[in-house]
A and B are shown apart, each in its own frame.
Chain A
Amino acid sequence: DTAVSQTPKYLVTQMGNDKSIKCEQNLGHDTMYWYKQDSKKFLKIMFSYNNKELIINETVPNRFSPKSPDKAHLNLHINSLELGDSAVYFCASSPSPTVLNTEAFFGQGTRLTVV
């Protein structure tokens, strides 16, 4: 069973389109995250949700809107896609945002290519 699963794995789309990436975790964790890894391989956090509530929102354009329908799901919707949005997006989960004696589990990533 995959602990953190993302769909789709690959996404190629044109500039200006709107797209969504879905993430689900079956670990029973309270906290989920979106990270972005750019072409230079830097991994940066974008958002974090705890029990469906936004708790971390880094400096991310408003075109990116996360949605957490329940604590097992955290989706990422991107409006008006730009070339610079091309990256690998990783979803992750952890038991809690504050009890740090825990590990985070990452999905396999979604490679987004904007053309």
Chain B
Amino acid sequence: DAKTTQPTSMDCAEGRAANLPCNHSTISGNEYVYWYRQIHSQGPQYIIHGLKNNETNEMASLIITEDRKSSTLILPHATLRDTAVYYCIVRVVGTASKLTFGTGTRLQVTL
């Protein structure tokens, strides 16, 4: 699976949009981009995933660049409950596969 690079930490004011970047420059054509988050002391939680088109669900939006070498997770109106470690993961299609977690980005949402 392709390696991802994320900033170690970010801050965001409550109510503002949180934009979390991820670099996956070695991604191949059969790899999806997944985002999970882990709130303190809880199990990881799925947020969103995509292949090449932008995606949106009730939690977030995922913007994938045209060359697919990077993506951005957008939390449109961050709340204190969004404080967590956010993991960007790329994952191969069509094989017995696993989620390989990196170090993630620690997002701190503040008042």
Listed in ascending order, the chain A residues whose CB lies under 8 Å from chain B are 4, 33, 35, 41-45, 48, 50, 55-56, 90, 92, 97-98, 100-101, 103-109
| Chain B, range 76-109, C-beta contacts under 8 Å to A | 85, 87, 91-101, 103
- Shortest A95–chain B CB gap in Å is 12
Q: Does B45 contact A (CB under 8 A)?
A: yes
**Of the residues B41, B46, B49, B96, contact of A48 by C-beta under 8 Å:** B96
Once the chains bind, are B101 and A98 in contact (CB under 8 Å)?
no
- Shortest A63–chain B CB gap in Å is 21
Once the chains bind, are B43 and A103 in contact (CB under 8 Å)?
no
In Å, the complex CA distance between A44 and B89 comes to: 13
Once the chains bind, are B98 and A56 in contact (CB under 8 Å)?
yes
CB neighbours of A109 from chain B (8 A): 41-43
CB neighbours of A105 from chain B (8 A): 46
CB neighbours of B94 from chain A (8 A): 98, 100
Q: Known: A44-B101, A103-B49. Contact between A98 and B43, CB under 8 A?
A: no
Once the chains bind, are B42 and A97 in contact (CB under 8 Å)?
no
In this complex, the member of A44, A100, A107 whose beta carbon has the largest number of chain B beta carbons within 10 angstroms is A100
- Shortest B5–chain A CB gap in Å is 16
Q: Does B21 contact A (CB under 8 A)?
A: no
Q: Known: A56-B98, A98-B96. Contact between A108 and B49, CB under 8 A?
A: no
